[in-house]
């Protein structure tokens, strides 16, 4: 069965069977947010990743599956804090029953929510659920385009102080032009570029080398204005129709090009795609080489460098416009707007702007709950 048939059957089953039965059992009408949560829970399959305590000896902890459903509800309802999430669970009977608690007295305390979230972050629960969802829906279909981009994540924590630099050695006298005298020691070699090292590294080694602490980042937007923030940067590979395939979290100061190779390697293990779409920040020979090595066609927005390069590019664009000529690469590059839509959905609708946790692991878990919601809802919308 193809992906389209699978999703179409799933949508029909939701509309004709699951939602009416839920409304009959709960004796209430489901709101759009409740329906979206049911869709996300059906795709996420929380129970497959968390053990049940029923029947085991010892004092049972609070049901972790119900708590994981609650954090997915927090992302679906776009609630800013866990305190508000708990208050909504106490007041909304329908939401409480969907998450798995029969009575308001069964809802755990806020400290239990915090401890459970720390466990989910350390075990990468949200990341594993998202990876399993992509494996279940994108193993066979061929993906046309992968749009690579990053988005700024503002955090409420102090930026890390830069590591103390060793005392600088006294400057060497300038070398004279021409051949150095016999016996002169050679100049120290320049350190190898990170992207060049990444070509021969494993995925885990590449990820371990990337900084993940909170710091200051600066980025120039599409209008040429420079913005800065304190926090992190989430790098996302997005497939056609706005399906996030893989994500990597780094410090805010990490340049986009430093994450292109590890992100592309992770994506290549999950899906088969034809084109890699990237903006001018990814213009580098190593990135093109790696993309072609994976069997993809890299389409990167040119980044003119050197005297007169920008003017030549502007003249070429003007000539193409006057001749009513649009290259095929430009037509495909326009598909990259799916990355912007995913970034906007994560921030505006699924908690990307409500970051209250600290530390890279917890930040990634919070964001991945939102990414999981974006993935599930966009999968259902494919055939609507």
Same domain, 200 and 96: no
d(CA 197, CA 194): 5
- Whether 239 maps to a domain, the answer reads yes
Query: What pLDDT is stored for residue 384 in this prediction?
Result: 42
Q: What percent of the chain has pLDDT over 90?
A: 50
Q: Does residue 126 surpass a pLDDT of 90? A: yes
Greatest Cα pair distance, the chain, in angstroms, is: 92
Q: Which residue in 334, 275, 273 sits closest to 143, CA to CA?
A: 273
User: Does residue 365 have a pLDDT over 70?
Assistant: yes
166 lies in a domain?
Answer: no
Whether residue 232 is found in the same domain as residue 313: yes
Q: How far apart are CA 353 and CA 153, in angstroms?
A: 7
Please give the span between the terminal C-alpha atoms of the chain, in angstroms, as a whole number. Answer: 18
What's the rounded mean pLDDT across residues 332-345? 90
Classify residue 112: in a domain, yes or no. yes
The model's confidence at residue 19, banded by pLDDT at 50, 70 and 90, is low
pLDDT of residue 324: 59
The number of domains in the chain is: 2
Look up the domain containing 75 and give its range.
Answer: 3-53+61-123
- The answer to whether position 339 is within a domain reads yes
Statement to judge: residues 112 and 197 lie in one domain:
no
Question: Which residue, 83, 119, 126, 143, is CA-closest to 234?
Answer: 126
Output the six-digit token pair for 87. Answer: 């208050």
- Inside any domain, residue 379: no
Q: Provide the 3-class DSSP secondary structure of residue 142.
A: strand
Contact between 68 and 46 (Cβ < 8 Å): yes
Do residues 245 and 97 share a domain? no
Question: What pLDDT, on a 0 to 100 scale, did the predictor assign at position 8?
Answer: 47
More confidently predicted of 330 and 68: 68
**Structure tokens belonging to residue 99:** 């998450």
β-strands 142-154, 215-220: how paired? unpaired
Say yes or no: 93 and 151 in one domain: no
93 and 197 part of one domain: no
Alpha carbons 322 and 206: distance in angstroms, whole number: 45
Residue 19: how many other CB atoms lie within 10 Å? 17
Predicted local confidence at residue 363, as pLDDT: 96
Q: Are residues 206 and 89 in the same domain?
A: no
Q: Alpha carbon of 244 to those of 20, 104, 318: distances in Å?
A: 30, 35, 35
State mean pLDDT over 176-191.
75
Stated pTM of the model? 0.85
H/E element, 171: none
Give residue-wise pLDDT tens across range 144-178: 899 999 999 999 999 887 665 555 566 666 767 77
Tell me: do 95 and 153 sit in the same domain: no
The predicted-structure confidence for 205-220, as pLDDT tens digits, reads as follows 999 999 999 999 998 7
Nearest to 327 by CA among 302, 308, 307, 295: 302
User: What's the mean pLDDT when you consider all of the chain?
Assistant: 84
* Phi, then psi, of 111 in degrees rounded to 5: -65, -35
Q: Is residue 97 part of a domain?
A: yes
Helix, strand and coil percent figures for the chain, each rounded to 5? 50, 15, 35
Residue 311 has pLDDT above 80, yes or no: no
Confidence of residue 319 (pLDDT cuts 50, 70, 90): low
Contact of 245 with 134, CB cutoff 8 Å: yes
Q: How far apart are CA 46 and CA 136, in angstroms?
A: 14
Q: Is residue 33 part of a domain?
A: yes
Average pLDDT over every residue of 237-264? 94
So what's the pLDDT on residue 192?
A: 78
Mean pLDDT within 268-287: 92
Residues 340 and 240 in one domain: yes
Mean pLDDT, residues 290-297:
94
Residues 118, 66 share a domain: yes
Is the domain of 35 the same as that of 148?
A: no
Distance in angstroms (rounded) separating the CA atoms of residues 301 and 334: 11
* pLDDT at site 381: 81
One domain for residues 114 and 245: no
Question: Rounded to whole angstroms, how far apart are CA atoms 70 and 80?
Answer: 13
Domain presence at residue 32: yes
């Amino acid at each position: 069965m193809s992906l389209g048939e699978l999703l179409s059957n799933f949508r029909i089953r939701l509309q004709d069977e699951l939602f009416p039965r839920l409304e009959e059992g709960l004796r209430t009408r489901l709101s759009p947010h409740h329906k979206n949560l049911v869709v996300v829970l059906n795709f996420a399959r929380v129970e497959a990743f968390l053990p049940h305590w029923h029947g085991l000896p010892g004092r049972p902890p609070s049901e972790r599956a119900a708590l994981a459903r609650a954090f997915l509800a927090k992302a679906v309802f776009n609630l800013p804090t866990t305190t508000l999430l708990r208050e909504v669970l106490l007041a909304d009977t329908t939401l409480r029953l969907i998450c798995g608690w029969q009575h308001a007295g069964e809802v755990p305390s806020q400290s239990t929510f915090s401890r459970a979230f720390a466990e989910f972050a350390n075990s990468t629960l949200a990341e594993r659920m998202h990876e399993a969802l992509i494996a279940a829906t994108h193993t066979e279909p061929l993906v046309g385009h992968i749009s690579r981009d990053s988005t700024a994540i503002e955090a409420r924590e102090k930026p890390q102080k830069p590591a103390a630099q060793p005392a600088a050695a006294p400057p060497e006298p300038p070398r004279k032009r021409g051949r150095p005298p016999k016996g002169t020691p050679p100049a120290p070699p320049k350190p190898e570029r990170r992207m060049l090292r990444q070509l021969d590294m494993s995925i885990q080694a590449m990820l371990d080398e990337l900084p993940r602490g909170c710091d200051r980042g600066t980025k120039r937007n599409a209008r040429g204005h420079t913005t800065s923030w304190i926090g992190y940067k989430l790098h996302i590979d997005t497939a056609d129709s706005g399906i996030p395939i893989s994500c990597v979290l780094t410090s805010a100061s990490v340049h986009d090009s430093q994450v292109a190779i590890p992100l592309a390697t992770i994506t290549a293990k999950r899906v088969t795609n034809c084109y890699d779409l990237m903006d001018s920040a990814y213009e580098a020979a190593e990135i093109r080489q790696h993309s072609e090595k994976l069997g993809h066609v890299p389409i990167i927005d040119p980044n003119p460098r050197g005297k007169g390069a920008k003017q030549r590019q502007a003249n070429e664009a003007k000539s193409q416009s006057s001749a009513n000529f649009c290259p095929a690469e430009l037509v495909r590059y326009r598909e990259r707007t799916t990355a912007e839509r995913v970034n906007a959905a994560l921030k505006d609708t699924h908690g990307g702007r409500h970051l209250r946790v600290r530390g890279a692991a917890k930040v990634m878990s919070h964001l991945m709950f939102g990414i999981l919601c974006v993935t599930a809802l966009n999968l259902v919308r494919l055939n609507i």
